[in-house]
Structure 1
Amino acid sequence: MLNRPPVQDIFRAPFEVLPGTRDRRLLILCDHASNALPKDYALLGLPEAEFERHIAYDIGAAGVVRRLAEILGANAVLSGFSRLLIDPNRGPDDPTLVMRLSDGSVIPGNARIGPEEVTKRMQAYYEPYHAAITGLIDEALDLGDVPVLVSIHSFTPSWKGVPRRWQAGLLWDKDPRLAGPLIEELKAEGLVTGDNEPYDGALENDTMYRHGTLRGLPHALIEVRQDLISEPDGQAEWAERLARMLTSILKDPALSRIEHFGSRVGHGHTAPPNDV
């Protein structure tokens, strides 16, 4: 019998902060960095193999974030818990905040969850993660810097049997300052890049809405197809690519000011599947 490592991360804390050493103006986020669960939750009744799937975390995203933060000397915040416990990239009132069914898998530990347990998970895991982000934003603003928020996610190569042609996608609401140049740079390298594809970036009270849109900070959510970053070499390649692009884009003075663009939220937009 092979002695392979466990497929699930060990839960340590609700979040991890990687302190910046150079460009503290840039804040890199990873909402779905981990597939870890506290022991009390007993895998939510799922087989351990389910935690290798995208329903539990964003495959490859944490590796990209760690390498990108290292290259740029930027602050980063990574979640320390599985999205199956509670999804930090959803608003408190979003029906997909705690998933009962995800991509064909019933989540037994969530199936009969009540409001008290949701509140418990919010207080213990969700809010500490967001408080860490808020703290770093406030710290930068106190120093006279306008933070630029970059959130790294990954998406499945196919959804419900339909292959996805995009290699990356930029999700954004109405603030084009960061998403627009990144789309142009990625397309210039010949990469098939989605503009609010495979999902729409207008999602009420998600991480970018809460910390970027409402505060007038430049921000963008970058999605990379999982098969391109499932291994360390691919993660390093994408981190180095994004670092090169961001180094150039961040020179734009428009990214050094607070500016409110409003939002498309509330105009018929619905939550995407549990893959963002």
Structure 2
Amino acid sequence: MVAKIVKASFPGHLLTRPSVWQAPYIFASPHSGRHYPSRFLSSSILDLTELRRSEDAYVDTLLPSPDEIGVPILTARFPRAFVDVNRSANEIDTTMFTTPPKISAESRSNRVAAGFGVIPKYAAAGRAIYSRRLSGQEGSSRLSMCYEPYHAALRGLIDECVDLFGTAIVIDWHSMPSVGASGQKLADAVLGNRYGASCDRAVCTSWEAALDGAGLTVRRNSPYAGGYVTSTYGKPAKGVHVLQIEINRGLYLDEARTMRIGARFRLLKERLGSAIASVISDAALPLDIAAE
């Protein structure tokens, strides 16, 4: 489960499906990718450990398998420092490139201004990733080879889920630092639903109750209310709900030094598995109906 240095210039995504899709859920892990192109590493002034601090490290491995829960899981293999799929494709800092990528750039976005656009300028803690500008072709290629296929897969899953069940619920899994920007200790889990705009209240309540029942402390929308995925795909009036779940890294990771899995990983995985099974079982169709 360690990070991999790969020759592939543009690592893709992984979509794993259950043998039977049993409930109107889709799980996504957009920031846990740890396949680092060797060409990317050679262009960065940061070492691998520093780049990995941008990851939602190992969130994908905390989740049960698709066959255990009966829902598909979409995971980005490329690292967040390479391409951030929880951004608009237009959130581009044009100053990063010798010539701008061939898109309509939203360079005045707050996230771009902070250095965290779709192709990040900075890693965690505001550390510059590059010492020189990238080519416009590099930016365009990352979007066409990583970003666009990931979102096409997510849109396809949502459409398929709605066709099967009449509704779709996307759970966008992330991790967060154990301590907030102002130094406060964060909850074990934060549920982000754009203050009710991206999913029905009942969806959020069911996850809050399940996580609380598994022994985790839970907050809503503070300090994370959801990002591009929740705001773009969450359309409760049309039967599509998106809930972002942030897991405290201090529960399972040596976040301060090595970025390695900690001693409490297995316990957290068991607790999350229990909470997930509870929610999914309440929403699951009988096997004979789901198989039709």
Query: Is 1:105 the counterpart of 2:127 in the alignment?
Result: yes
Structure with bigger gyration radius:
2
Using the alignment, how far apart are the partners of 1:138 and 1:43 within structure 2? 39
Q: Residues 76-133 of structure 1, C-alpha deviation per residue, up to 9 Å, x if partnerless? A: 1000100111100111233222221231321016x62465432221111001111111
Residue 42 of structure 1 is matched in structure 2 by 41
Quote the residue 2:278 is aligned against.
Answer: 245
Contact persistence 2:41–2:48 (CA under 8 A): no
Q: Show the 5 A alignment for 1:26-105.
A: 26-45=25-44, 46-53=46-53, 55=54, 57-65=55-63, 67=64, 69-94=66-91, 95=112, 96-102=117-123, 103-105=125-127
In the other structure, the counterpart of 2:14 is 16
Q: Distance in 1 between matches of 2:230 and 2:214?
A: 26
Amino acid at match of 1:85: F
- Which residue of structure 2 lines up, in the alignment, with residue 268 of structure 1? none
Which structure 2 residues correspond to residues 196-215 of structure 1 after superposition, within 5 A? 196-201=221-226, 203=227, 206-213=228-235
CA distance in 2, matches of 1:227, 1:11: 32
Judging changes above 3 Å, is the alpha-carbon distance between structure 1 residues 170 and 42 closer, same or farther for their aligned structure 2 residues?
same
Letter of the 2:19 counterpart: T
Are residues 10 and 115 of structure 1, via their aligned partners in 2, closer, same or farther at CA, if it must alter by over 3 Å?
Answer: closer
Q: CA RMSD in A?
A: 2.8
Task: Specify the code of the residue in structure 2 equivalent to 1:79.
Answer: A
- Residue 247 of structure 2 aligns with an amino acid whose one-letter code is V
Quickly say closer, same or farther: Cα 1:40–1:70, change in 2 above 3 A.
same
Pair 213,189 (structure 1): closer, same or farther in 2 beyond 3 Å: same
User: 3-state DSSP class of the match of 2:74?
Assistant: strand
Q: Which deviates further from its counterpart, 120-129 or 95-104?
A: 95-104
Q: Bigger CA drift: 217-226 or 17-26?
A: 17-26
Per the alignment, do residues 235 and 32 of structure 1 end up closer, same or farther by CA in structure 2, a change over 3 Å counting?
A: farther
What letter matches 1:241 in structure 2? S
Letter in 1 for 2:50: E
- Paired letter, 2:192: L
Greater mean alpha carbon deviation, residues 136-145 or residues 32-41 = 136-145
TM-score normalized with structure 2 length: 0.72
Q: 1:247/1:11 Cα in 2 relative to 1: closer, same or farther (>3 Å)?
A: farther
Q: Does the 8 A contact of 2:33 with 2:78 survive in 1?
A: yes
Distance in 2 (alpha carbons) for counterparts of 1:150 and 1:82: 19
Q: Matched residues in 2 for 1:123 and 1:113: separation?
A: 16
Query: Is it true that 1:130 corresponds to 2:160 in the alignment?
Result: no
Q: What is the CA–CA distance in structure 1 between the aligned matches of 2:23 and 2:168, rounded to whole Å?
A: 8
Q: How far apart are 1:10 and its partner, in Å? A: 4.0
Q: Given the alignment, which residue of 113, 125, 140 partners 1:119?
A: 140
Q: CA deviation at 1:71?
A: 2.2
Identity of paired residues, percent? 20
Q: Where do 1:183-222 residues align within 5 Å?
A: 183-201=208-226, 203=227, 206-213=228-235, 216-222=239-245
CA deviation string 1:40-80 (max 9, x = no partner): 32354121222442x1x102311123x25342021110001
| Aligned-partner Cα distance in 1 for 2:284–2:57 | 31
Gaps of 5+ in 2: 92-111, 254-260, 286-292
Q: What's the offset of the Cα at 1:16?
A: 0.2
The amino acid across from 2:219 in the alignment is G
Answer yes or no: is the 8 Å Cα contact 1:101–1:107 preserved in 2: yes
TM-score by length of 1: 0.76
